[in-house]
Amino acid sequence: MLSFKNVLPLYKYPIAYFKILLAIFKFFSRPQLVISKRRPYITFSSTGDQEYLASLYNKHLGERCFIIANGPSLNDVDLSFLKDEISIGCNGFYNKFEELGFTTTYYLTADLNQANIRAKDLSKIKGPVKLSALHTASVLPFRNGFRYFYKAKHHATQYAYDEPVYPQFSEDFAAIVHHGYTIAYSMLQFAFHLGFKEVIIIGLDHDYGPLVEHFPPGKLKVTEDNIDLVKKCHFDSSYYKIGDEIGVPFSHKQTKAYELAHQKFVESGRTLLNASPRTKLKCIPKISLERYLQGTT
């Protein structure tokens, strides 16, 4: 929860601690005094973010949704069809909202560095139901526009044993969201919680090009020397700028997480498909988005 120490300068620590405490207070149901005719008593309010997330359980039971990752193949897709669909976006996809003329239904972010470099922009986004992991509250403005926070295991070190229990998949998004080395894994757990019968992913290329050949998994500072490699990883060449800190992905661990997600969907009688044109991910069935939308898949 205090991983902001690696992101923020020392003088910002006190306010970051305070923001985290406020987010925690907002997340959990709070004690409140009720005055009745017979006697006063203390109960717990039902206004916490966790209560709201619990109320979303199976909200979209039997429906379908589209999960939008941010790979370069998004540029191969006409996204106008999403206007009439339920969709979940993340991270820098909000840069597409103005061009599209509409927003996603839901929007998630979880990575501390992502939240930090996009904090001002994220505060201005209007339209989708916005959810952010609790630990990101430390870098978001007080007026951050995030209506709800969720409790995420945001780093492998938060698990007692790491590898022997990785990956895990939460079927109760209100209780916990598990770490999968990618925001797409959080979105899959959210979609499962919402009860969607059919989930189609677009923009999940699972291909980071030469970046992973030149740099090991972990944090990387974007510089003039590596910016050209970084630009090839997302649909928008300006997704990151020089000076940003990004994560070089643990691709094999992402794959393990996606394998479990697909297994969970299948076991529950649901469908999980990948309609990303350039995807290199093999564990989720690949389909043609065009044929799917035409009902011929």
Asked whether residue 233 is assigned to any structural domain, the reply reads no
Nearest to 204 by CA among 96, 261, 278: 278
Asked whether residue 218 is assigned to any structural domain, the reply reads no
Window from 2-16, 40-54, 101-115, 154-168 with minimum mean pLDDT: 154-168
Asked whether residue 201 is assigned to any structural domain, the reply reads yes
Asked whether residue 242 is assigned to any structural domain, the reply reads no
Q: Is the pLDDT of residue 5 over 80?
A: no
Asked whether residue 223 is assigned to any structural domain, the reply reads no
Q: Give the number of domains in the chain.
A: 1
Domain extent at residue 175: 3-208+249-293
Whole-number Å distance between alpha carbons of 276 and 77: 9
- List pLDDT tens digits, range 156-201: 666 655 567 889 999 999 999 999 999 999 999 999 999 999 999 9
Asked whether residue 237 is assigned to any structural domain, the reply reads no
The DSSP secondary structure of 76-107, one letter per residue, reads: GS-GGGGGGS-EEEEGGGGGGHHHHTS--SEE
218, β-bridge pairs: 248
Give the pLDDT score at 164.
76
Asked whether residue 95 is assigned to any structural domain, the reply reads yes
Give the pLDDT score at 198.
98
Q: Is the pLDDT of residue 100 over 90?
A: yes
Q: Looking at this protein, which amino acid is placed at residue 97?
A: F
Q: Which residues does 32 contact at the CB level (< 8 Å), separation at least 6?
A: 42, 43, 44, 45
> Other C-beta atoms within 10 Å of 175: how many?
13
Average pLDDT over the chain, rounded to an integer: 91
Q: Is the pLDDT of residue 33 over 80?
A: no
Give the pLDDT score at 154.
65
pTM (predicted TM-score):
0.92
Percent above pLDDT 90 for the chain: 76
48 falls in which pLDDT band (50, 70, 90)?
confident
Nearest to 103 by CA among 77, 121, 129, 78: 129
- List pLDDT tens digits, range 54-66: 999 999 999 999 9
Q: Which residue has the higher pLDDT, 52 or 32?
A: 52
Asked whether residue 37 is assigned to any structural domain, the reply reads yes
